[in-house]
Amino acid sequence: MVGVNTLKLLNKESVLAMAQESNVLFVRLQFVDILGTPKNIIIPASGLQSALDDGIPFDASSIAGYATIEESDKIARPDPASFVILPESVEQRKTAKLNCDIFEPNGKRFEGDVKYVLEKIMQKAVRFGYIYNTGPECEFFLFKKNGDTSSVIPNDTAGYFDLSHRDLAEGVRADISLALEAVGIRPYTAHHECADGQQEINFQYADAITTADRVITLKYITKVIATKHNLHASFMPKPLYSQCGSGMHTHQSLFTLDGINAFYDPNNPNELSSIAYHFIAGLLKYIKELSGVLNQTVNSYKRLVPGYEAPTYISWANQNRSALIRIPSKRGISTRCELRNLDVSCNPYLAFSVMLAAGLRGIEDNLEPPAPVEKNIYSLTEDERRKYGIEELPDSLGHALMIMSKSEMVKETLGEHIFENLLHVKRKEWDAYRLQVTKWELENYLPIL
């Protein structure tokens, strides 16, 4: 098994040796499109050396946001440091996985490679003297397979942290956790969440590129393991009416290059540094512009409504869980801020990119956040929220795209290629959605109008 610390030491020679010693038969060369959908090219182990030497050419014309037919040739170059052997619980045959960087035929990095976007903004953070770490809380649902995609039946009716006969997913979570450990991802909690059939698995924080890789791997492993239990795992943000949706609350911190948490200041009343305050202020200032990336589906905005533990108001607080940004109580090396509006339908590479860009803008411009709001924001009247200067997040994908389309900061961070392609794909999704006539409309309007 390749552990987390071992990953960084791998090179072409050690990867080839490990593949041979472990009798690997196939290798998955993976990358993701602009929406965060995993893609892969499977090669026999006999082709691994050639792939590591020269990459694998492929036609990208059918991959969302990648290229037109006229400019579709791309090359996937495996990153040896990402090599892992997938466990038998995930693959029937001995199979390894490598993440790929995407290049143009002329050797230049492809501007539509979402990992490249995150690498560039992480390099900017390094020039500031910081490593950007993220730690997401990944929620998902388990549904019974009933052959009908228009209706869902939760796997169980257990509640938050339940230890009872109603929690039917304990074995599923255990199998997912073991499979994650086998590929070097160490979970530290797994439990039932609030809604029927809703689960959560958390893993250790890491630099944002490593974490984005892990989110994609977790989603893949979760779906495979669920299928083995004759269940369907869904990362849809809001699949059940009148119940809580699935988020991806993400904890963020900046560490100096010599390993010191830059958010911690023991001499401040809240033990937060000026860097932490500037970073939080940047997130608050630009959060509306980021929403089209952090909450990228029509369904995302059905989760972001009052009353279901998801943030709808732009504020921050030290403990208040109704706030958009929360500061967990631990300090010292664990000092961090938690952004709570993300959901698991997002592309983690792009989401972490724009979050870091907003935080760095806050540091560059010496922005100061407003006072924290420790009250339950959902219980405040509109006048009280106005008094505190609390604004609302976008309330639909269309609203979020309109704001994002005018954002110089998001465009600069994503690059023109991804920015324009993401807007194009998501506008088509929004148009397709708003042209639908739903069952709810027919039931409520047809009899009386």
One-character DSSP codes across 336-370 = -EEE----TTS-HHHHHHHHHHHHHHHHHTT----
CB atoms within 10 A of CB 317: 18
139 an active-site residue? yes
How do the pLDDT tens digits run along the chain, 449 residues long?
Answer: 333 333 457 899 999 999 999 999 999 999 999 999 999 999 999 999 999 999 999 988 888 888 665 578 899 999 999 999 999 999 989 999 999 999 999 999 999 999 999 999 999 999 999 999 999 999 999 999 877 766 789 998 887 887 877 788 889 999 999 999 999 999 989 999 989 999 999 999 999 999 999 999 999 999 999 999 999 999 999 999 989 999 999 999 999 999 999 999 999 989 999 999 999 999 999 999 999 999 999 999 999 988 777 899 999 998 777 789 999 988 999 999 999 999 999 999 999 999 999 999 999 999 999 998 888 888 888 888 888 888 999 999 999 999 999 999 999 999 999 999 999 999 999 999 999 999 999 999 999 98
191 an active-site residue? no
Tokens of 429: 């999704």
Instruction: Check residue 7 and give its pLDDT.
Output: 42
Of 214, 249, 278, 326, which residue is the catalytic one? 249
Helix 397-404, helix 408-434: angle, nearest 10: 150
Phi-psi region of 36 (alpha: psi -120 to 50; beta: other; left: phi over 0): left
Instruction: Check residue 397 and give its pLDDT.
Output: 98
Contact, 339 vs 282, CB < 8 A? no
Q: Is 314 helix (H, G, I), strand (E, B) or coil?
A: strand
Q: Is 8 helix (H, G, I), strand (E, B) or coil?
A: coil
Structural domains in the chain, CATH included, are 4-110 (3.10.20.70), 119-440 (3.30.590.10)
Contact, 98 vs 115, CB < 8 A? no
Reference 360, options 279, 426, 244, 448; nearest CA is: 279
Q: pLDDT by residue (tens digit) across 15-73?
A: 999 999 999 999 999 999 999 999 999 999 999 999 999 999 998 888 888 866 557 88
Of 33, 101, 113, 139, which residue is the catalytic one? 139
Instruction: Check residue 4 and give its pLDDT.
Output: 36
Percentages helix, strand, coil for the chain (3-state, rounded to 5) are 40, 20, 40
Of 113, 200, 213, 265, which residue is the catalytic one? 200
Of 338, 343, 361, 385, which residue is the catalytic one? 338
Q: Is 139 helix (H, G, I), strand (E, B) or coil?
A: strand
Question: DSSP code of 154?
Answer: B
186 an active-site residue? no
Whole-number Å distance between alpha carbons of 282 and 141: 32
338 an active-site residue? yes
Instruction: Check residue 255 and give its pLDDT.
Output: 97
H or E stretch at 50: helix 48-54
Whole-number Å distance between alpha carbons of 19 and 41: 17
Q: Is 19 helix (H, G, I), strand (E, B) or coil?
A: helix
137 an active-site residue? yes
13 an active-site residue? no
Instruction: Check residue 321 and give its pLDDT.
Output: 73
Whole-number Å distance between alpha carbons of 231 and 236: 15
Task: List the beta strands (DSSP E) in 69-192.
Answer: 73-78, 84-85, 95-103, 130-144, 187-192
Whether the pTM exceeds 0.85: the reply is yes
Contact, 279 vs 263, CB < 8 A? yes
- Render the burial of 6-29: b for 16+ CB within 10 Å, e for the rest: ebeebeeeebbebbeeeebebbbb
State which amino acid sits at residue 76: A
Whole-number Å distance between alpha carbons of 373 and 445: 40
Which value, to the nearest 10 degrees, does the dihedral of the CA atoms of residues 98, 101, 107, 110 take? 150
